[in-house]
């Protein structure tokens, strides 16, 4: 059976409410003094990734002030009128531009309750708000994207060591200097709920899904929760673990691309964003997500050859077509990732 269809069929089964469990440990890994502690950090990353596919990192080197600047830039962008944002709509298949309530998950069949602005470096012509509309926005988010890339490559170098690739293997595969670069920074805004809005336990800010990429870095704010995870091997039980948001910890997860590249040693994990309950914060929820996706022309070829070689471009296209058949519309993103 086609590997991408298998992934889609798994995802389409994950729309039920399920239950909540706090028994899983989402490990927090300290990356400080990275080069001197590389062996220990690699062991901790590998153990967490092969266990549930999710982990959090602290001591990661991205200054909290710069994270907050990126969040402030996102808030300012989403406060612009829709007519301004709509002048830079999401480019078909290129993960660049603005979209609102266009992403429909196979797991639930309804649009995610959010809007997003996606930045993929080679495809941003004509998509930036002007300096008069949003002073400093472009420089802030480009600088933040670069820091995310550097951290993602550091983490992927640890997985390269364990998979038998050379240490810089994934760094070369995600080269931002080429036109085939397709890693994406996504600014996300989940809409506020009115205080008197009824609570619907079956409504989701983002339905259950896995990510298409190699590795995702997610930045969240204290008090703006809702993210829940369920390891794929435990999908039949549909027991979900809440991820506590934190200003200083980055939540990371393995994506489908790295799962394939690792002969399934590194599992991609289901996750979703639930809508606020009666006692939860009902205001807007913002998050920043960086998706490390190998360059379009890179060949995904696993060490043991469990799956046939495929370019990253063809792999992502197959995943999108499987999720959004019969056609990928102008507004559908190139990755099923959002948090």
Token pair of 90, please? 């999401």
Tens of pLDDT, residues 222-265: 988 878 888 766 777 788 888 888 999 999 999 999 999 999 99
Residuewise pLDDT in 10s, the chain (339 residues) = 455 545 555 555 555 677 888 888 889 999 999 999 999 999 999 999 998 889 999 999 999 999 999 999 999 999 999 999 999 999 978 889 999 866 555 544 555 678 999 999 999 999 999 999 999 999 999 999 999 999 999 999 999 999 999 999 999 999 999 999 999 999 999 888 777 777 666 667 777 888 999 999 999 999 888 788 887 667 777 888 888 889 999 999 999 999 999 999 999 988 888 777 767 777 888 999 999 999 999 999 988 999 999 999 999 888 877 665 433 333 334 454 555
Mapping DSSP onto H, E and C, the string for the chain reads CCHHHHHHHHHHCCCCCCEECCCCCCCEEECCCCCCCHHHHHHHHHHHHHHCCEEEEECCCCCHHHHHHHHHHHHHHHCCCHHHHCCCECCCCCCCEEEECCCECCCCCCECCEEEEEECHHHCCCCCCCCCCCCCHHHHHHHHHHHHHHHHHHHHHHHHHHHCCCCCHHHHHCCCCCCCCCCEEEEEEECCCCCCCCCCCCCEEEEEECCCCCEEEEECCCCCCCEEEEEHHHHHHCEEEECCCCCCCEEEEECHHHHHHCCCCCCCEEEEEECCCCCCCCCCEEEEEEEECCCCCCEECCCCCCCCCEEHHHHHHHHHHHHHCCCCCCCCCCCCCCC
Distance from C-alpha of 229 to C-alpha of 271, rounded to nearest angstrom: 4
- Give CA–CA dist 147/267, Å, rounded: 25
> Is 0.85 topped by the overall pTM?
yes
């Amino acid at each position: 059976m086609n590997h991408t269809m298998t992934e889609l069929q798994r995802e389409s089964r994950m729309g039920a409410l399920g239950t909540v469990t706090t028994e899983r440990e989402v490990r927090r890994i300290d990356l400080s003094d990275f080069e001197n502690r590389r062996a220990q950090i690699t062991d901790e990353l590998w153990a967490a990734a092969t266990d549930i596919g999710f982990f959090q990192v602290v001591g990661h080197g991205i200054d909290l002030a710069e994270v907050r600047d990126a969040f402030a830039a996102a808030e300012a962008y989403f406060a612009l009128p829709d007519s301004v944002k709509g002048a830079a709509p999401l480019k078909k298949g290129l993960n660049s531009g603005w979209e609102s309530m266009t992403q429909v998950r196979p797991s639930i069949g309804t649009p995610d309750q959010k809007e997003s602005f996606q930045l993929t470096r080679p495809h941003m012509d004509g998509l930036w708000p002007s300096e008069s509309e949003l002073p400093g926005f472009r420089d802030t988010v480009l600088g933040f994207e670069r820091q995310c890339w550097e951290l993602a490559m550091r983490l992927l170098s640890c997985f390269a060591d364990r998979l038998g690739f050379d240490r810089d293997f994934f760094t070369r595969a995600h080269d931002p200097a080429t036109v085939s670069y397709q890693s994406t920074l996504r600014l996300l805004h989940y809409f506020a709920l009115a205080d008197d809005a009824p609570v619907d336990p079956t409504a989701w800010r983002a339905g259950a899904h896995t990510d298409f990429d190699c590795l995702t870095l997610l930045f969240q704010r204290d008090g703006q929760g809702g993210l829940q995870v369920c390891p794929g091997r435990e999908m039949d039980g549909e027991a979900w673990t809440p991820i506590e948001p934190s200003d200083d910890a980055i939540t990371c997860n393995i994506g489908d691309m790295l799962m394939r590249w690792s002969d399934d040693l590194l599992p991609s994990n289901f996750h979703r964003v639930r809508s606020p309950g009666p006692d939860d914060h009902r205001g807007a929820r913002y998050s920043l997500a960086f998706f490390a996706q190998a360059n379009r022309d890179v060949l995904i070829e696993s060490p043991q050859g469990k799956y046939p070689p495929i370019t990253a471009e063809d792999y992502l296209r197959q995943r999108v077509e499987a999720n959004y058949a019969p056609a990928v519309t102008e507004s559908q993103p190139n990755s099923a990732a959002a948090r």
